[in-house]
């Protein structure tokens, strides 16, 4: 045998080669998983990651290491959420082109990442011109302060399109989900379902549906608060869920 053939048959060398290939495969799989959670344009997390994070941060269960880290050291009794909408995005695309629109989204993304630096914060692009920030341990008041800082920073931004400088503004919806209320609602639903003589598997399935329904309703409230204020006062505004529910929209909230 030649020297190379002898080496290839050496058990220790063969094991080392296999281990190296396994490590490389694991590295590639981890990168593919990361990319499946990322928005290709902005580099932020995507809607899938946000939805899973909101669910797992609140409910718990089998979590990935990154989500375990994000839960560590946070007060999980309340979760703040900020919905961010880039104003006049369609007009910018139609007037200045999609390249300018992309630069607007990238500029907003950079500001979101710069301001939300806590390990627990999760920033995602969830639609064409919409972003969501998940803030574990934050009340609505705390999230509103974060929103005001973000709003004021973005107003200083401009994007160049040829000889034009395009001003950027955003509208924001702010709310928080109290986890005790979620748990109480789920407990009441579980008691109701158990009294209906359904099999355990069906009860568990219906409880999962109830959890998703609660989260969807909460996000809808934040969205509706933002759009209610935009309809009332126009773009470039901040809306809090509690104020909309109480029909209190201060005229100088974001002026």
pLDDT digits (tens, 9 = 90+) for 39-59: 989 999 998 888 888 777 666
Are 207 and 183 in contact by the 8 Å Cβ rule? The answer is no
101 and 59 both lie in a single domain:
yes
Query: Considering the domain boundaries, does residue 254 fall inside one?
Result: no
160 and 219 both lie in a single domain:
yes
101 and 45 both lie in a single domain:
yes
- Angstrom distance (rounded) from CA 121 to CA 62: 20
10 and 70 both lie in a single domain:
no
Please tell me the predicted confidence (pLDDT) of residue 82: 96
Residue 151 sits in a domain whose CATH number is 3.30.70.270
152 and 217 both lie in a single domain:
yes
64 and 125 both lie in a single domain:
yes
The residues near 154 (Cβ < 8 Å, ≥ 6 apart) are 107, 108, 111, 168, 169, 170
Given 85, 87, 121, 129, the catalytic residue:
129
116 and 26 both lie in a single domain:
no
Query: Considering the domain boundaries, does residue 138 fall inside one?
Result: yes
118 and 229 both lie in a single domain:
yes
For residue 190, count CB atoms less than 10 angstroms from its CB and return exposed for 0-12, middle for 13-18, buried for 19 or more: middle
- Residue ranges making up the domain that contains 4: 1-36
13 and 125 both lie in a single domain:
no
62 and 145 both lie in a single domain:
yes
Query: Considering the domain boundaries, does residue 251 fall inside one?
Result: no
Query: Considering the domain boundaries, does residue 252 fall inside one?
Result: no
Instruction: Give catalytic status of residue 68 as yes or no.
Output: no
Sheet holding 170-178, edge to edge: 122-125, 130-136, 78-86, 170-178, 238-240
- Angstrom distance (rounded) from CA 57 to CA 197: 31
Q: Tell me which residues of the chain have a pLDDT lower than 70.
A: 1-9, 24-35, 57-76, 247-255
121 and 8 both lie in a single domain:
no
142 and 192 both lie in a single domain:
yes
What's the total number of domains in the chain?
A: 2
- Chain center to CA of 136: 11
Please tell me the predicted confidence (pLDDT) of residue 66: 40
Residue 21: CA count within 13 A, CB half-sphere: 6
For residue 27, give both structure tokens: 């590295």
Phi/psi class of residue 247: alpha, beta or left (left: φ > 0; alpha: ψ in -120 to 50)? Answer: left
């Amino acid at each position: 045998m030649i020297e190379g053939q002898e080496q290839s048959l050496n058990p220790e060398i063969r094991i080392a080669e296999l281990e190296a290939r396994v490590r490389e495969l694991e590295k590639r799989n981890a990168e593919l998983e990361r990319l499946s959670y990322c928005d290709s344009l902005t580099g932020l997390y995507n809607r899938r990651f946000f939805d899973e994070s909101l669910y797992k941060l609140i409910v718990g269960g089998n979590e990935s290491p990154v989500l375990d880290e994000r839960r560590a050291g946070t007060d999980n009794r309340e979760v703040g959420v900020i919905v961010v909408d880039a104003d006049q995005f369609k007009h910018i695309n139609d007037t200045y082109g999609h390249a300018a629109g992309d630069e607007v989204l990238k500029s907003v993304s950079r500001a979101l990442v710069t301001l939300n630096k806590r390990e627990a914060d999760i920033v995602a692009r969830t639609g064409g011109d919409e972003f969501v920030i998940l803030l574990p341990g934050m009340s609505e008041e705390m999230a509103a302060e974060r929103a005001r800082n973000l709003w004021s920073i973005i107003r200083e931004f401009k994007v160049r399109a040829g000889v034009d400088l395009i001003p950027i503004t955003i509208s924001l919806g702010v709310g928080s989900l109290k986890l005790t209320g979620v748990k109480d609602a789920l407990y009441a639903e579980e008691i109701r379902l158990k009294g209906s003589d359904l099999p355990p598997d069906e009860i568990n399935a219906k409880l999962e549906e109830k959890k998703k329904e609660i989260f969807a309703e909460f996000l809808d409230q934040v969205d509706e608060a933002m759009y209610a204020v935009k309809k009332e006062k126009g773009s470039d505004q901040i809306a809090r869920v509690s104020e909309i529910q109480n029909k209190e929209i201060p005229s100088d909230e974001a002026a």
